[in-house]
Amino acid sequence: EMQSMSDFITLLEKFGDLEVSIIRATKINKVLKAILKLDAIPREEEFHFKKRSQSLLDKWNKLLASDTSANGVNGASESHAEAKKSDANGVKVDGEPKSEATAEPKAEKADAGEPTSVEGADE
């Protein structure tokens, strides 16, 4: 069994730079962290699981850190996502949120006494 575990780590080492989305989705980094916490691993002297796990984690942590800084740090990306969610009430079928410029002419028509159609009725 330990040979197959070594083969799995070898496979991970051959991937080079995994995409951050894959690291996050699979949570493989948590598995490697758990390996580091183990007191004893059978055949560790032969396969060097801890050393190999640490080197993969070091490489992936750099990728995760660079992705976090590119997307914003300390929740900046979350607040941006929340802002997009709040625009969801005005989303058209084509996926673009309504701008204020498109909302104003309808308001002017309503002020002029012209009948306005219900949004979404003709869609």
Six-digit token pair at 37? 């916490």
- This prediction's pTM: 0.55
pLDDT digits (tens, 9 = 90+) for 65-113: 988 777 755 544 444 444 444 444 444 445 444 444 444 444 444 455 5
The answer, yes or no, to whether residue 64 has pLDDT greater than 80, is: yes
- Give the dihedral of Cα atoms 10, 15, 16, 22; nearest 10 deg: -120
CA distance 97 to 84: 9
